[in-house]
Structures are given as structure tokens and as C-alpha cells.
Amino acid sequence: MTIGKNNYTLGVLTSGADFKGEIIMRKIEFGKSVLQVPTIAVGCMRISDMNEKEVSSFVDTALKNGANFFDHADIYGGGKSEEVFGKAIKSLNREDLIIQTKCGIRSGQFDFSYDHIVNSVNGSLKRLGTEYIDVLLLHRPDALMEPEEVAKAFDYLKNSGKVRNFGVSNQNPYQMELLQKDMDMPICANQLQFSIMHAPMIQSGINVNMYNESGVNRDGSVLDYCRLNKITIQPWSPMQYGFFEGCFVDNPKFPELNKVLEDIGNKYGISKTTMAFAWILRHPAKMQPVTGTTNLNRLADCLKASDIQITREEWYEIYRAAGNVLP
């Protein structure tokens, strides 16, 4: 496997493939870190059932489309996702990849203890076949979190060179404040569920002081907090509705939304899948959505959204087509 290098991301050539050039994806700052990252991250939750060759093609597709940021978690596939990914990238230059993983979920509980965080990272490093992790996220909140203990674990991981940057997932502003008070390094990212069909962060911001369901603030205004504190929001399940209930694209339950996505997508010559990501990227918070597919064509479709800038009118038309009513 050979690599063509530039100052951002890489096109990867698998053995015998016909390399047609590189796509340079638009970059954003990653929180308060020094990282410059692609606008879309590649989720690896579902690769545990793929073999090494299939994962190599998966990585190739991502890199050829300008995405070198890969999102993992120690629990994905019981660790198999990290393991097969580590085997697939053995011949690549590690410095050309940005690898993020998460820890803190155990069977029947969450665990942000020093021992669990450190042991989880050591396990991820072994499975990924790497000496360091670019970004470590705490996976959901732990009700029994002791911020001093988390800070101690993060200090050790940072000073030992095992982890370079830190973040959280599914946390509200005060949970992040509590954690940050003992940390010497900034929280760079917060991974939150967000899509056209799951947008309470947007709904409550629009329906301020309104006596309706959309006006209920369920997250402590986390969107505005992250913007104020330069924390990158990473939307997960950007194609899903509900809690893993299914994909809304081409779903007969959402005819109006799909028609609007198709009509606007036709103006740009892109698919409804690409439009769903372009809608997220149009928001000025400079979010970094995480893909969830292992289908190579669909993955490429997702990554095309980086180049699309829809209008304000189109953004609101899609928002309304998802069933949202403006006050």
C-alpha cells in the first residue's frame, strides 16, 4: 500500500488499484487543540464483522475522499472494531491518521475511575497497534464521576504520551464544567446525537420561552456552551431518527422530508444522503459529524458533503420538512 502525501490528508492506493488522485477535504479547528481535522469523521462502530481486506477498502475509501479522522470506542464489537482496524492500517504511516476512541462504558454501568480509564486506553492501544491515541473521549456521563480522579488519569495518559487530546460525549455544560475544573488540558470535543430528525439542540434554541414541547431545554443549552468554549460538537447518528430506530433517508415514514432533500439535492447534483450531512455542516457551530455506514458508496456520499454549502433558506426548508414548526 502506498501513500501520496500532502499537507492535509492522503489518498491511499491499494495494491493493483488505479489511483486517480486525491480529494482534499475542508478542515476545521478541533476545539482548542492544535489539530486541524476534516469536517467529517469516519465512524468505525460497525466494522467488527468485516475482515481485514474489507476494512482496508473501507479506510482507502475514506482517505481517497479526504477523511483521515477515524472514530472508535473500546466497546465497539467488544473490541473487535479496534482490532481489525489496527491490522488494516499496519502498512500506513501512523502520523497521517487521526484516531479517536472512547472509554467508560462497562456492562451495566459507566466507569470513569482512574484504573478503568487507564486500563481501557492500554487495551485500545494494543488492539489498534499504535503507541498513541490522538483523541480520547469519555463515553457518556458517569453519575459516580470524581473529577479529580479523571484528571489524574488524563494527566498520566498525556504525560506518558499515550493520549494527546481529550473530550467527552453526551455531556451537558455543567458536567463539562465539573470535569474541567481539575483538568490542565481543555475538553476538545463533545459527541452528541444530532440529525435532521433529532434536533432538540436546535428546537429549544428557537423556541425559547415558549410553552410547547419543542421549547423544552433537555441539554442545558449545550450547543451554545460548546460554541462559547470552543468545543467541537461531533454529531453521532446523523442519518438516524429516534434512538437507533432507523435511517430517515428513503424511509416512507418521512415523505415530505425526503422530497425536500431530493429536490434541493438535485440543485447541487448530490444525493439525499449527502444533503443530510450538508444540512449539519451548514450550521455555524462548525460541527464534525461522524459517519455510521460501512457501505463504501454511501460512505463516499457522506464525505462529499464537505464541499456543499446550502443556503439559509434551504436549511430552514429542510428543518421545517422534518416536522418542526417555527414559532
pLDDT in tens, 123-182: 999 999 999 999 999 999 999 999 999 999 999 999 999 999 999 999 999 999 999 999
pLDDT at 13 over 90: no
d(CA 47, CA 180): 33
pLDDT score, position 24: 87
Contacts of residue 77, Cβ cutoff 8 Å, sequence gap at least 6: 45, 47, 48, 49
Cα separation, 261 vs 281, whole angstroms: 15
Instruction: Specify the pTM.
Output: 0.92
Q: What is the pLDDT of residue 11?
A: 37
pLDDT for residue 243: 86
| Percent residues over pLDDT 90 in the chain | 91
Which cell is 127 given? 488492539
Integer distance in angstroms from the first to the last C-alpha of the chain?
Answer: 55
| 327, part of any domain | no
Looking at the predicted structure, is the pLDDT value of residue 99 above 60?
yes
The tally of domains found in the chain comes to: 1
Is 20 exposed, middle or buried, given 0-12, 13-18 or 19+ CB atoms closer than 10 A? exposed
Task: Work out the average pLDDT over 90-106.
Answer: 97
Q: Which three cell numbers stand for residue 213?
A: 414541547
In a domain, 326, yes or no: no
- Overall average pLDDT of the 307-319 stretch: 98
- pLDDT above 90 for 314: yes
Burial group, residue 123, by CB count within 10 angstroms (0-12, 13-18, 19+): middle
Collapsing DSSP to helix, strand or coil, 75 comes out as coil
Q: Is 78 helix (H, G, I), strand (E, B) or coil?
A: helix
pLDDT for residue 22: 66
Does residue 95 have a pLDDT over 90?
yes
Mean pLDDT, rounded, of the chain: 93
Tell me phi and psi for residue 133, to 5 degrees.
-115, 135
Give the pLDDT score at 120. Answer: 98
Tell me the residue range of the domain where 266 lies.
Answer: 2-321
pLDDT at 16 over 80: no
> Does residue 75 form part of some domain?
yes
Q: Is position 279 within any domain?
A: yes
Q: Which three cell numbers stand for residue 21?
A: 488522485
- CA–CA dist 138, 127 (Å, integer): 18
Q: How many Cα atoms occupy the beta-carbon half-sphere of 24 within 13 Å?
A: 7
Q: How do residues 31-76 score in pLDDT, each as one tens digit?
A: 999 999 999 999 999 999 999 999 999 999 999 999 999 999 999 9
- Phi and psi at 233, nearest 5°, equal -85, 130
Question: What is the per-residue pLDDT across 104-125, written as a single tens digit (0 to 9) for each?
Answer: 999 999 999 999 999 999 999 9
More confident position, 225 or 2: 225
Entry field: residues in the chain: 327
pLDDT reading at 28 higher than 90:
yes
- Given a cut of 90, whether residue 20 has pLDDT beyond it is no
φ, ψ (nearest 5 deg) of residue 280: -65, -45
Q: What is the CATH number of the domain that holds 203?
A: 3.20.20.100
Identity of residue 248: F
Nearest Cα residue to 91 out of 35, 141, 41, 129: 129
Residue 132, domain member (yes or no): yes
Q: Any idea which of 78-82, 158-162, 165-169, 208-212 has the lowest mean pLDDT?
A: 208-212
- Let me know if residue 189 belongs to a domain: yes
16 within a domain of the structure (yes/no): yes
CA dist., res. 116 & res. 301, Å (int): 37
Q: How far apart are CA 148 and CA 126, in angstroms?
A: 27
Q: What angle do CA 313, 28, 174 make, to 5 degrees?
A: 85
Distance, in Å, from the CA atom of 189 to the CA atom of 136, rounded to the nearest integer, reads: 9
Share above pLDDT 70 across residues of the chain, in percent, rounded to a whole number:
93
CB of 275 within 8 A of CB of 249?
A: no
Q: Rg for the chain (alpha carbons), in Å? A: 19
Reading the block at residue 13, the C-alpha cell is 492506493
Whether 150 is covered by a domain: the verdict is yes
